[in-house]
Structure 1
Amino acid sequence: MKFTDGFWQLRPGVTALYAQQAYDIEQTDATADGPGLVVTAPTAVITKRGDTLNRPVLTVTLSSPLEGVVRVRIAHHEGGRRHGGFDLPGAVAGGAGTASVDADGGVLRTGSLTARVAPGAPWSLSFESEGRRLTGSGHKAQGYVRLAAGAQVDPGIVGNARAAETAATPDAFVHEQLDLAVGELVYGLGERFGPLVKNGQTVDIWNADGGTSSEQAYKNVPFHLSSRGYGVLVNDPGHVSYEIGSETVERVQFSVPGEVLEYFVFAGPTPKDVLDRYTALTGRPPVVPAWSYGLWLSTSFTTDYDEQTVTSFIDEMARRELPVSVFHFDCFWMREFNWCDFEWDARVFPDPEGMLARLHDKDLRVCVWINPYIGQRSPLFREAADQGYLVTRPDGSVWQWDLWQAGMGLVDFTNPDATAWYQGHLRRLMAQGVDCFKTDFGERIPVDVEWFDGADPSRMHNLYTQLYNAAVHEVLVASRGEGDAVLFARSATAGGQTMPVHWGGDSTSTFASMAETLRGGLSLALSGFAYWSHDIGGFEGTPDAGVYKRWTAFGLLGSHSRFHGSQSYRVPWAFDEEAVEVTRVFTRLKMRLMPYLFQRGVEAARTGVPLMRPMVLEFPDDPATAYLDRQYMLGPDLLVAPVFTESGEVEFYLPAGTWTSLFTGESVEGGRWVRETHGFTSIPLYARPGAVLPWGAREDRPDYDYLDGLTLRVFPGGTGTAEVLVTTPDGRSATFTADRDDVTR
């Protein structure tokens, strides 16, 4: 949200008070994280005792919850309204920093990161690492802002929500501005479908069901990563508004409504180091089951289907030697208007237990669609309403609306009994034979409501998805075990990476939407999410054969791959025979890559580094990678450049060194842009210089013994030996050594 009118003035109706000086700095052991600093920052420079009267101050507290991480808390009124923070499972008891105060000011040290508060005026808070200034908060950076009625600011997509939330009082905000160095670039902030580099953008952290072709996002994460080797998380699940070099062009501004703002700064020096620390604090992703990496085939959304339809798809995939691992039943496995009642529509699925057993006999896992809403026609609606399991309005009536499902109510996951009730229905489905759930929706969460536990409605808007997915994930873990639990979720916020997998929402069936989908995945990867998927071919509309085939190649070169659409089936023979061959080539390729891919998942659980990586994450010292958002690294050693044209023309960048095509075996010198033309059964897929790829022996399934028949493929451009670790789906592991000297092909 923009509060200023140019460099000197505020917008009409806006008043602002800024931290002007560090009047006093105290070392304390009484912060939430142990040792820290407490700074009294008056909103005017104090020159005499009388200046201390009738003068607001900002209280700024610095501490460290984890080595290499600084917590900054800015409070106008400590007892005032705040949305609270995210769960921080990695916070260290007693803190991880040391604090000191002397004539030069206050210093908090934690690992390689130092926060320094200069005494007196002007206000100066800086963050340094290994003697290098990363960023800082200076004059007019920390501010307390009030909006009078009719203030001329644009509240963005949360305007109506805020009006409902704070109708009784004027709006109040706290903001911070951190310096941007010359050439510094900002990434992250969730799954955003616009440019990968966020400089110049206004971003609202507010989950919304807006499709991939808009500025809105299903997965909003108030975490950004800087090209200068640090990251920042705003510790507020409510609405966070960002101006990234867009209002004050030399700074990143983030603001929250209320009286308190809290944020964390994460040290690098590399982007991977930042993600390591960020996910260490907010939660690591688990290892997901090997079977989930295989191809997921869906009924699609509004198509007509029954068991015969499903069986015909699966049998035809098998006849054409197209490996399928998971079959997904979308919404209409339940009767229309009944979503959710968790009951199979008996008109088309009269024998669900038998059908699920027959699917298991075909060596398939089964996923079913659910959402957190209970339609009024559902037999469960009255039960949930009577038991107090649905979110209510302030007058005590059940909150309902007609968007999506007629008269639907919203399950209140702040009520433990409601959560247990919802989970009971999931357990019943799992007892029937369901293996996993697609947790759709969770974004359109109202703020003019009351929650069972008294939670702030604005806090719950973004955080609702966390409770929803956690309720489902908990059932899967309890039933299947940690290593066999997987979701297919759409909405998320900070911490959602602990409950994978997430998919990219409702794209259209075009090359442009394919490109924006990729941008969303790369942005989410830089927000701490290790696994990601999308609807191959696009969701809305029906792709032409060219889009479908190009998207298939892209979709099968990621962590998770699903054919899904809205009005049409997405089986490959519905497009043309070449689409069948494209599916066969890339599905089999992915199965051969499973020893490599699964190991990347094991490493993600340890480091938080995603499987699908923006080029800048793997090559941060190569300035040519900074803006690249039409290609990516799949793990550390494979470069993928999806083809966004039917003609097959594609342009991509190869960093320095000798790169080798997995399709042709030809080696190409990098440090330059490359133009190629590809048929539908190939794609720019290059092995990194000196890469050693563990190559699996099977191409019919993802969950096999990777050590049985394993081959090491050694590529040119490296020297010396390389160690390759391979972990099997059952947890066995082995380390292999490969000599990379004198390798030419």
Structure 2
Amino acid sequence: MKFTNGYWMNRPEYDVESPMETYDARQDEKKLIAFAPFKRVLTRGDQLNLGATTMTFTSPVENVIGVKLEHFDSENHGPSFKVNNLDPDVAIQIDDNTASLTSGQLKVSLPLRTDFDLKFTVDGKLITESAQKAQGVIFNHDTKVSYMREQLSMGIDEKIYGLGERFGNFVKNGQSIDIWNQDCGTGSEQAYKNIPFYISSNGYGVFVDEPQRVSFEVGSENVDRVQFSTEGQSLQYYVIYGPTPKEVLHRYTQLTGAINLPPAWSFGLWLSTSFTTDYSESTVLKFIDGMKEHHIPLDVFHFDCFWQKGFEWCTLAWDKEMFPDPVGLLEKIHNRGVKVCVWLNPYIAQKSSLFVEAKEKGYLIKRQNGDVWQWDLWQAGNGFVDFTNPDAVAWYQSKLKELLNMGVDCFKTDFGERIPVDDVKFFDGSNPKQEHNYYTLQYNKAVYEAIKDVKGSEEAVVFARSATVGSQSYPVHWGGDCLSNYNSMRDSLRGGLSFLLSGFGFWSHDIGGFEDGADRPTPDLYKRWTQFGLLSSHSRYHGSNVYRVPWNFDEEAVANTKRFVDLKLSLMPYLYTQAAHSAHYGNPLMRPMFLEFSEDPNVFDNSTQYMFGSQLLVAPIFNESGRGHYYLPGGKWTSLLDGKVYSVPLAGQWVDEEYDELSLPVLVRENTILIRNEKADHASYDYTKDVDIHLYQLSDGKVTTKVVDLHGDDVATVTAKRKASKISVNTTGISGSVNVYVHSDNNITSARLVDGVAEIDL
């Protein structure tokens, strides 16, 4: 939202008042409270007929400083994001000239009785500031609506990332972004997952703690500042110091909620019925058996919308005409070693048998006059489950638990974005404008916790489309409705990387694209997207009106699917260890290059490749010609698929190569220990037994890696030490038949692990 007309004037409908000085400050235990009037106070007369902002500074996490700006003292009807307070030590200083609060290395300081300024510094070095006239208390005299605004400075060459799942340019500079969840597809400025948190290339992040619409102008109104504004009389935000982007994300998740680790089986291949295709028990079993006949391991089968009767979504009951014995069907699928996911959303159609029950008990969102809030979008007479009502939550969960006890393993939690704000009344009196974005958290939390109650905490996983702050605790999320073309494949990755830089750990997308045309997806696109999908944290075939089984495309598609499913399963000792460690620290498994190489400016704009954990680089192919164009930071990189070695100068280099449809760039970083099991036929297995240990381009010195179990706990260690032309390997917790492979330049040397030890001469 823009308020100004050029640099000097405001738009005619807006009156803008800004603090012109910090008049005084006081300490209240661990808080610093300052009073900032809208003009310089030089005489007693200046204290009359004058507005002001009260600024409260706190620190809930070390190296994080919270700022609350208040014009009028107004009641917050909620909901509010959960913000954790770890109660770190702070230092507050107030003298005649300056007031300041320091948390860890981060300091906020305000000069007193002089021109307004608000500086955030580390060791005396400025990281960002709110200069004079950056803050604003704004009144639109046409609409009678008030806003609060803050502007934080940007440095020369500073780049801004994050703000949720954004499908446009990866670097947000120059963009206007509204934090407002919408059912939008993946090709517009809107998003399903809006997160009011950004991360800067200069080593800090900013979280705006407001659940309602927050409008960001990222160097797009004032070109040297990031502006954020929201309706109301107060505005709260947190400045989070790193200095690395990994540390910023770590502190952000300490503040807003931990990333939970999904079960290992969820990392395997998911196969969907697709959306509007015809399917029954025989169709489902034919597809599952077809995967086995083609020797393609399958971990999860997903039933999309039509497991229920049309016009009745979500009635949360099987369509008995198509599935007369759902318990028997689920047992047959489980006996094939496959988990089951079913689709749902939080809307209940008027035709559903649940509608009358929910209406009578007051479990649906209402209009101000007490009627159920309904519309015909999506399903006829849709009502919305009111998750602000604890009884409604328990009722909804009881329906899900019936399905879980029947044999369903998890749910695809679709929708949650189109939550009304006009003529709306929530059970707990929540402000509809604040509830709109927040609703998805309540919805996905209810479903996740229902699974947790029945299956246990380590088995809980959803496949969610919408998200807000805190949703990282309820994984996994997927990218939404993309098109079956290469541009949309690229857009999906760009949106995913932006989302993963916003405090989330795991992400997926519809392999092949969701919206099918008459000839979509093409076999070529299907194969390229399969490679990308199986080198993502979670991997699901899904579409609209086309079955996604590989034999429907061509024989090479079958070979391609098998190759990359096998590859992912073989990598699970590495991937699940990386996933567990990343989630614990608050970092994503799929990482934008900027996150792993924050000192290399060549990667700052790069959103067409990524690191898969800390040690693997993946560059999907986005064209039918097979051309790969990607960047390698300095060092030695080894192709995981064909062993080719790239010796890259410290300055880095771009690579252009052609790849057939069974290949793509997957590069291993130097000094990597990669644990694999090439005989795996599911994603969940013992990652410490009968594995292969691969050592890639080791330098002199010692390298160590851990291996986790299915609980995500470290249970094994592998250490490799190179001295000149000799490498020694020592392990603890690794058992069975184990081979060690040393990849040195273009040569591979192997040895057997005996009693946990191997010695290799190069």
TM-score, structure 1 as length reference = 0.95
Q: Does 1:643 align with 2:621?
A: yes
Answer yes or no: is the 8 Å Cα contact 2:79–2:430 preserved in 1: no
Closer/same/farther in 2, CA of residues 84 and 387 from structure 1, 3 Å limit = closer
The match for 1:211 among 185, 203, 211 is 185
Deviation at 1:691, TM superposition (A): 1.5
Answer yes or no: is the 8 Å Cα contact 2:97–2:113 preserved in 1: no
Residue matched to 2:20: 20
Alpha-carbon distance between aligned partners in 2 of 1:96 and 1:392, rounded to the nearest angstrom: 46
Answer yes or no: is the 8 Å Cα contact 1:338–1:377 preserved in 2: yes
Residue matched to 2:122: 129
The match for 2:717 among 735, 741, 745 is 735
Task: Encode CA deviations 1:214-259: one digit per residue, 9 max, x unaligned.
Answer: 0000000000000000000000110000000000000000001000
Answer yes or no: is the 8 Å Cα contact 2:593–2:611 preserved in 1: yes
Residue matched to 1:493: 468
Deviation at 1:605, TM superposition (A): 2.7
Alpha-carbon distance between aligned partners in 1 of 2:478 and 2:681, rounded to the nearest angstrom: 24
Alpha-carbon distance between aligned partners in 2 of 1:19 and 1:85, rounded to the nearest angstrom: 26
Which is further off, 338-347 or 100-109? Answer: 100-109
Deviation at 1:347, TM superposition (A): 0.7
Deviation at 1:26, TM superposition (A): 1.2
Residue matched to 2:604: 626
Closer/same/farther in 2, CA of residues 404 and 84 from structure 1, 3 Å limit = closer
Counterpart code for 1:217? A
Counterpart code for 2:130? S
Counterpart code for 1:467? Q
Closer/same/farther in 2, CA of residues 184 and 512 from structure 1, 3 Å limit = same
Residue matched to 2:42: 47
Counterpart code for 1:693? L
3-state SS of paired residue (1:177): strand
Q: Does 1:120 align with 2:106?
A: no
Task: Encode CA deviations 1:378-413: one digit per residue, 9 max, x unaligned.
Answer: 011011011100000011111000000100100000
Alpha-carbon distance between aligned partners in 2 of 1:669 and 1:268, rounded to the nearest angstrom: 31
The correspondence of residues 689-708 of structure 1 with structure 2, limited to 5 A, is 689-708=670-689
Deviation at 1:602, TM superposition (A): 1.0
Which is further off, 197-206 or 706-715? Answer: 706-715
3-state SS of paired residue (2:59): strand
The correspondence of residues 378-417 of structure 1 with structure 2, limited to 5 A, is 378-417=352-391
Residue matched to 1:535: 510
Alpha-carbon distance between aligned partners in 1 of 2:214 and 2:608, rounded to the nearest angstrom: 28
The correspondence of residues 570-589 of structure 1 with structure 2, limited to 5 A, is 570-589=548-567
Q: Does 1:591 align with 2:573?
A: no
Alpha-carbon distance between aligned partners in 2 of 1:729 and 1:717, rounded to the nearest angstrom: 29
Deviation at 1:584, TM superposition (A): 0.5
Alpha-carbon distance between aligned partners in 1 of 2:718 and 2:233, rounded to the nearest angstrom: 56
Answer yes or no: is the 8 Å Cα contact 1:83–1:238 preserved in 2: no
Task: Encode CA deviations 1:291-325: one digit per residue, 9 max, x unaligned.
Answer: 00000000000000001000000101001000100
Task: Encode CA deviations 1:510-559: one digit per residue, 9 max, x unaligned.
Answer: 00000000001100110010000000000001311111100000000011
Alpha-carbon distance between aligned partners in 1 of 2:399 and 2:78, rounded to the nearest angstrom: 31
Answer yes or no: is the 8 Å Cα contact 1:279–1:528 preserved in 2: yes
Alpha-carbon distance between aligned partners in 2 of 1:82 and 1:374, rounded to the nearest angstrom: 26
Deviation at 1:85, TM superposition (A): 3.3
Q: Does 1:722 align with 2:703?
A: yes
Deviation at 1:37, TM superposition (A): 1.0
The correspondence of residues 342-421 of structure 1 with structure 2, limited to 5 A, is 342-421=316-395
The correspondence of residues 125-274 of structure 1 with structure 2, limited to 5 A, is 125-149=118-142, 170-274=144-248
Q: Does 1:91 align with 2:66?
A: no
Answer yes or no: is the 8 Å Cα contact 2:412–2:462 preserved in 1: yes
3-state SS of paired residue (1:553): helix
Alpha-carbon distance between aligned partners in 1 of 2:460 and 2:50, rounded to the nearest angstrom: 55
Answer yes or no: is the 8 Å Cα contact 2:405–2:454 preserved in 1: no
Alpha-carbon distance between aligned partners in 2 of 1:400 and 1:80, rounded to the nearest angstrom: 29
Deviation at 1:104, TM superposition (A): 3.5
Deviation at 1:261, TM superposition (A): 0.1
Q: Which sections of structure 1, spanning at least 5 residues, go unmatched?
A: 30-34, 151-169
Residue matched to 1:3: 3
Alpha-carbon distance between aligned partners in 2 of 1:572 and 1:56, rounded to the nearest angstrom: 66
Alpha-carbon distance between aligned partners in 1 of 2:103 and 2:362, rounded to the nearest angstrom: 46
3-state SS of paired residue (1:173): strand
Q: Does 1:56 align with 2:37?
A: no
Residue matched to 1:66: 61
3-state SS of paired residue (1:133): strand
Closer/same/farther in 2, CA of residues 349 and 84 from structure 1, 3 Å limit = closer
Answer yes or no: is the 8 Å Cα contact 1:115–1:127 preserved in 2: yes
Alpha-carbon distance between aligned partners in 2 of 1:80 and 1:280, rounded to the nearest angstrom: 27
Which is further off, 239-248 or 598-607? Answer: 598-607
Q: Does 1:600 align with 2:578?
A: yes
Q: Which sections of structure 2, spanning at least 5 residues, go unmatched?
A: 726-743, 748-762
Alpha-carbon distance between aligned partners in 1 of 2:531 and 2:583, rounded to the nearest angstrom: 26
Deviation at 1:276, TM superposition (A): 0.4
Answer yes or no: is the 8 Å Cα contact 1:192–1:216 preserved in 2: yes
Alpha-carbon distance between aligned partners in 2 of 1:431 and 1:704, rounded to the nearest angstrom: 24
Task: Encode CA deviations 1:136-165: one digit per residue, 9 max, x unaligned.
Answer: 100111110011226xxxxxxxxxxxxxxx
Answer yes or no: is the 8 Å Cα contact 1:283–1:498 preserved in 2: yes
Alpha-carbon distance between aligned partners in 2 of 1:112 and 1:698, rounded to the nearest angstrom: 49
3-state SS of paired residue (1:603): helix
Counterpart code for 1:26? R
Alpha-carbon distance between aligned partners in 1 of 2:121 and 2:677, rounded to the nearest angstrom: 45
Alpha-carbon distance between aligned partners in 1 of 2:577 and 2:2, rounded to the nearest angstrom: 45
Alpha-carbon distance between aligned partners in 1 of 2:333 and 2:314, rounded to the nearest angstrom: 23
Answer yes or no: is the 8 Å Cα contact 1:694–1:711 preserved in 2: yes
Alpha-carbon distance between aligned partners in 1 of 2:79 and 2:19, rounded to the nearest angstrom: 22
Counterpart code for 2:12? P
3-state SS of paired residue (1:521): helix
Alpha-carbon distance between aligned partners in 1 of 2:699 and 2:289, rounded to the nearest angstrom: 45
3-state SS of paired residue (1:220): coil
3-state SS of paired residue (1:354): helix
Alpha-carbon distance between aligned partners in 2 of 1:529 and 1:732, rounded to the nearest angstrom: 22
3-state SS of paired residue (1:430): helix
Counterpart code for 1:129? V
3-state SS of paired residue (1:221): coil
Residue matched to 2:280: 306
Closer/same/farther in 2, CA of residues 14 and 415 from structure 1, 3 Å limit = same
The correspondence of residues 456-535 of structure 1 with structure 2, limited to 5 A, is 456-535=431-510
3-state SS of paired residue (2:417): coil
3-state SS of paired residue (1:645): coil
Closer/same/farther in 2, CA of residues 459 and 740 from structure 1, 3 Å limit = farther
Answer yes or no: is the 8 Å Cα contact 1:639–1:687 preserved in 2: yes
Q: Does 1:109 align with 2:102?
A: yes
3-state SS of paired residue (2:682): coil
Deviation at 1:711, TM superposition (A): 1.9
Alpha-carbon distance between aligned partners in 2 of 1:732 and 1:214, rounded to the nearest angstrom: 42
Deviation at 1:96, TM superposition (A): 3.9
Alpha-carbon distance between aligned partners in 1 of 2:577 and 2:113, rounded to the nearest angstrom: 52
Deviation at 1:566, TM superposition (A): 0.4
Deviation at 1:739, TM superposition (A): 2.3
Closer/same/farther in 2, CA of residues 82 and 416 from structure 1, 3 Å limit = closer
Alpha-carbon distance between aligned partners in 1 of 2:12 and 2:335, rounded to the nearest angstrom: 68
3-state SS of paired residue (1:714): strand
Counterpart code for 2:580? V
Deviation at 1:332, TM superposition (A): 0.2
Answer yes or no: is the 8 Å Cα contact 1:504–1:533 preserved in 2: yes
RMSD: 1.2
Alpha-carbon distance between aligned partners in 1 of 2:33 and 2:371, rounded to the nearest angstrom: 45
Deviation at 1:83, TM superposition (A): 5.2
Counterpart code for 1:328? H
Residue matched to 1:335: 309
- The alignment-based identity, stated in percent, is 50
